[in-house]
């Protein structure tokens, strides 16, 4: 006779064995004991206030650590609340493992408590969704789920556990033991394609490198920095590709992004998809005859939207290391004095001037550029920046620099609002556990903050070093003045007359800190902002909120294109 063991313990121990470190979730029937077993097995459990935020946190920790975070939820509605999170992880190509408790099998089909077809529901959002048929098979399914979340193009997996399987006891001798899989195998580039790519780049008149979050996930930063320095190729990064090569590098042509994309004749696309973020790679945003050298771990991604001229299936780490040598062999270096660089330099200078002018306008109510410029000057340059909101995110992307990889987390490929506080919690834990002293600056529009504002309580409970900066214009996109708002509201039934984009004017979000006996910061001017940042940087064991009131009419600098609202159909 061997010892008896319950499903909760088997599951917790299997997760630990497969290298899982963090679990985010909200417990309730039937997973309370599972949460306890997880802590007992040495997994770090972070209890959150909203399942969706827990799921965002779990996937962000996956991106930051390359090991899937677990999101633990209860049955039925608990799991339904994380659909958005699963979809976001899958669309972002980030590893995630969702674990849902579910209705006991003997209550299924007769109206069980929170009964719901959970495996079927999760399947469209996942690379793997299953219910282990017995507690004895839990280790096999956990191994597979962790492997599928991280191997190939990373993504989401779901495992379903009916209450009877979690609580039931089995003989430990009968457990089907699993093994610990190694790190994902690296895919190496085809040497012939590398030569072709090198030759295409060397023949280009106006080459451009685009660095995406696939390069960030691949940890390709050392080789890519060398590649850019050695070749002097101009580059731009996608929002979360920022920092793989520093934004402050001389070759970063972010200020001339529109021109660089429109004029480039050969693009080296590294771990980024030609989706809406990159305007589908099509005219008028790209040169009609642009040749694309595309490097991606997923071959199905090639030729999407436009034909790829040179398709290279590879992990970006080995590709970048080998491509540096390939170009060094050819002594390839783009002359600074050449026409292409001159064109780019000129445009960068011109755009920097416009932005500088807007940044220096510190009149009250403040504008976005002034807020971000002065915020940037005061925050440590190695901070992890989380950002969401419409204008807040778009303008912040250009104004807040990243000089380190994986130091920007935002609404991402799915354009999801509400990710900010969950992402910040993951980043805060990552700082606390791996880089003590590092800060998370979570820059939120007032609308974005509202999606998961109660997670401030989670941040306090786990003593996380997060500074939340709310850029508050009293609305979605733009806002309203107090007078506008009052006259609107006195005009009749508020549900008929209040503009659909309106939020309350000058809501005192910073006062949420008083719920914990602490003070937040209310800011209208640049000196007040500077003082608030300085004070918020002192304690490293709790979050703070800086509520910055900006002009309801503040906007982006004039844009040449509004791609999202254009359509050819
Ligand atoms: P961005 O948002 O930065 O434009 P995307 O999410 O659109 O980036 O694209 C990232 C791409 O990177 C995906 O197509 C994914 O398959 C790819 N990718 C992910 N990990 C790796 C890796 N280790 N090596 C190469 N490509 C990767
Ligand atoms: Mg707003």
Ligand 1 contact, 153 CB (< 6 A): yes
Ligand 1 contact, 212 CB (< 6 A): yes
Ligand 1 contact, 372 CB (< 6 A): no
In sequence order, what are the beta bridge partners of 111?
none
From the CA of 214, give the closest atom in ligand 1: 12
Instruction: Compute the distance from residue 376 Cα to the ligand 2 centre, in Å.
Output: 20
Ligand 1 contact, 213 CB (< 6 A): yes
Ligand 1 contact, 315 CB (< 6 A): yes
pLDDT(90) > 70: yes
- pTM: predicted TM-score of the whole model, two decimal places: 0.97
Convert the pLDDT of each residue in 436-490 to its tens digit: 999 999 999 999 999 999 999 999 999 999 999 999 999 998 898 889 888 888 8
Name the nearest CA neighbour of 217 among 271, 155, 157, 295: 271
Ligand nearest to the CA of 501: 2
Q: What does each C-alpha distance from 88 to 52, 423, 453, 550 come to in angstroms?
A: 10, 12, 19, 30
Site to substitute for ligand 1 among 280, 293, 296, 320, most atoms within 8 A of C-beta: 296
Rg of the Cα trace of the chain? 25
Ligand 1 contact, 238 CB (< 6 A): yes
Instruction: Compute the distance from residue 469 Cα to the ligand 2 centre, in Å.
Output: 12
Q: What is the average pLDDT across 107-126? A: 98
Domains contained in the chain, CATH given: 4-174 (3.40.50.970), 191-345 (3.40.50.1220), 361-564 (3.40.50.970)
If one counts every other C-beta atom within 10 angstroms of the C-beta of residue 300, the result is 9
Convert the pLDDT of each residue in 158-201 to its tens digit: 999 999 999 999 999 999 999 999 999 999 999 999 999 999 99
Rounded CA-CA distance 148/217 in Å is 16
pLDDT of residue 568: 60
Buried b (16+ CB within 10 A) or exposed e, 331-358: ebebeeeeebbebbbebbeebeeebeeb
Site to substitute for ligand 1 among 66, 185, 273, 408, most atoms within 8 A of C-beta: 273
From the CA of 211, give the closest atom in ligand 1: 3
Determine what percent of the chain is predicted with pLDDT higher than 70.
Answer: 98
Rounded CA-CA distance 67/295 in Å is 23
Convert the pLDDT of each residue in 520-557 to its tens digit: 999 999 999 999 999 999 988 899 999 999 999 998 77
333, 232 Cβ separation under 8 angstroms: yes
Ligand nearest to the CA of 319: 1
**What is the distance in angstroms between the CA of the first residue and the CA of the last residue of the chain?**
70
Q: How far out from the chain centre does Cα 453 lie?
A: 18
Ligand nearest to the CA of 219: 1
What DSSP state is assigned to residue 252?
Answer: B
Ligand 1 contact, 219 CB (< 6 A): no
pLDDT(212) > 60: yes
Q: How far out from the chain centre does Cα 549 lie?
A: 26
Q: What is the average pLDDT across 126-140? A: 98
Ligand 1 contact, 266 CB (< 6 A): no
Convert the pLDDT of each residue in 240-272 to its tens digit: 999 999 999 999 999 999 999 999 999 999 999
Q: What is the average pLDDT across 498-506? A: 94
pLDDT of residue 102: 98
pLDDT of residue 29: 95
pLDDT of residue 346: 98
Element (H, E) at 441: strand 440-445
Nearest CA to ligand 1 atom 18: 214
Rounded CA-CA distance 280/20 in Å is 36
pLDDT of residue 563: 52
| Mean of the per-residue pLDDT values of the chain | 96
Nearest CA to ligand 1 atom 24: 315
Ligand 1 contact, 510 CB (< 6 A): no
pLDDT of residue 565: 55
Instruction: Compute the distance from residue 281 Cα to the ligand 1 centre, in Å.
Output: 16
Ligand 1 contact, 294 CB (< 6 A): no
Nearest CA to ligand 1 atom 8: 272
Instruction: Compute the distance from residue 405 Cα to the ligand 2 centre, in Å.
Output: 28
pLDDT of residue 234: 98
Convert the pLDDT of each residue in 330-346 to its tens digit: 999 999 999 999 999 99
Q: How confident is the model at residue 513 (pLDDT cuts 50, 70, 90)?
A: very high
Name the nearest CA neighbour of 212 among 144, 290, 269, 250: 269
Q: Is the ipTM of this complex over 0.90?
A: yes
Instruction: Compute the distance from residue 175 Cα to the ligand 1 centre, in Å.
Output: 37
From the CA of 296, give the closest atom in ligand 1: 26
Convert the pLDDT of each residue in 222-235 to its tens digit: 999 999 999 999 99
pLDDT of residue 569: 60
Residues 6 or more apart in contact with residue 157 via CB below 8 angstroms: 68, 96, 97, 98, 126, 127, 128, 129, 145, 146, 148, 149
Ligand 1 contact, 297 CB (< 6 A): yes
pLDDT(562) > 70: no
Instruction: Compute the distance from residue 143 Cα to the ligand 1 centre, in Å.
Output: 24
pLDDT(150) > 80: yes
Rounded CA-CA distance 264/474 in Å is 40
Lowest mean pLDDT among 81-85, 163-167, 369-373, 387-391: 387-391
In sequence order, what are the beta bridge partners of 267?
208, 292
Structure tokens at 199: 């030759």
209 in helix, strand or coil?
A: strand
């Amino acid at each position: 006779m061997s010892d008896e063991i319950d499903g909760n313990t088997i599951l917790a121990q299997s997760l630990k064995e497969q290298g899982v470190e963090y679990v985010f979730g909200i417990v309730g029937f039937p997973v309370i004991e599972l949460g306890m077993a997880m802590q007992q097995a040495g997994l770090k459990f972070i209890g959150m206030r909203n399942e969706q935020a827990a799921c965002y946190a779990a996937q962000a920790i996956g991106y930051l650590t390359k090991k899937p975070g677990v999101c633990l939820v209860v049955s039925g509605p608990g799991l339904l609340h994380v659909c958005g999170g699963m979809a976001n992880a899958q669309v972002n190509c980030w590893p995630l493992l969702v674990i849902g408790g579910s209705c006991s099998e003997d209550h299924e089909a007769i109206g069980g408590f929170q009964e719901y077809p959970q495996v079927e529901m999760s399947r469209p959002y996942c690379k793997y969704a299953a219910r282990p048929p017995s507690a004895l098979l839990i280790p096999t399914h956990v191994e597979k789920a962790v492997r599928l979340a991280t191997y190939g193009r990373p993504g989401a997996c779901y495992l379903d556990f009916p209450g009877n399987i979690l609580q039931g006891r089995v003989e430990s001798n009968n457990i089907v033991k699993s093994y610990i899989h190694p790190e994902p195998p690296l895919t190496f580039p085809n040497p012939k394609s590398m030569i072709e790519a090198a030759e295409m780049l060397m023949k280009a008149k106006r080459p451009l490198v685009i660095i995406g979050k696939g390069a960030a996930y691949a940890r390709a930063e050392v080789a890519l920095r060398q590649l850019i320095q050695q070749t002097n190729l101009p580059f731009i990064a996608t929002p979360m590709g920022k920092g793989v090569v520093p934004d402050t590098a001389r070759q970063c042509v972010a200020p001339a992004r529109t021109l660089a994309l429109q004029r480039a004749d050969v693009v080296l696309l590294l771990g980024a998809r030609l989706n809406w973020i990159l305007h589908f790679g099509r005219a008028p945003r790209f040169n009609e005859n642009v040749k694309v050298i595309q490097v991606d771990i997923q071959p199905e991604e090639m030729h999407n939207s436009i034909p790829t001229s040179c398709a290279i299936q590879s992990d970006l780490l080995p590709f970048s290391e080998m491509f540096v040598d390939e170009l060094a062999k050819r002594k390839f270096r783009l002359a600074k004095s050449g026409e292409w660089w001159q064109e780019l330099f000129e445009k960068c200078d011109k755009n920097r001037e416009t932005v500088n002018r807007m940044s220096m306008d510190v009149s009250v109510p403040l504008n976005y550029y002034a807020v971000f410029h002065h915020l940037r000057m005061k925050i440590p340059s190695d901070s992890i920046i989380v950002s969401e909101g419409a204008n807040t995110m778009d303008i912040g992307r250009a104004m807040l620099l990243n000089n380190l990889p994986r130091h920007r987390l935002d609404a991402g490929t799915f354009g999801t609002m509400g990710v900010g506080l969950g992402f910040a919690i993951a980043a805060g834990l990552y700082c606390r556990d791996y880089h003590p002293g590092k800060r998370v600056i979570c820059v939120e529009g007032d609308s974005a903050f509202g999606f998961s504002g109660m997670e401030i309580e989670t941040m306090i409970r786990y003593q996380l070093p997060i500074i939340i900066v709310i850029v508050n214009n009293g609305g979605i996109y733009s806002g309203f003045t107090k007078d506008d708002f009052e006259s609107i509201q006195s005009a009749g039934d508020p549900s008929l007359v209040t503009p659909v984009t309106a939020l309350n004017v000058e809501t005192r979000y910073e006062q949420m800190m008083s719920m914990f006996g602490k003070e937040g910061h209310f800011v209208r001017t640049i000196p007040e902002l500077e003082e608030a940042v300085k004070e918020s940087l002192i304690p490293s064991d709790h979050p703070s909120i800086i509520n910055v009131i900006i002009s309801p009419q503040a906007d982006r600098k004039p844009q040449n294109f509004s791609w999202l609202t254009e359509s050819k159909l």
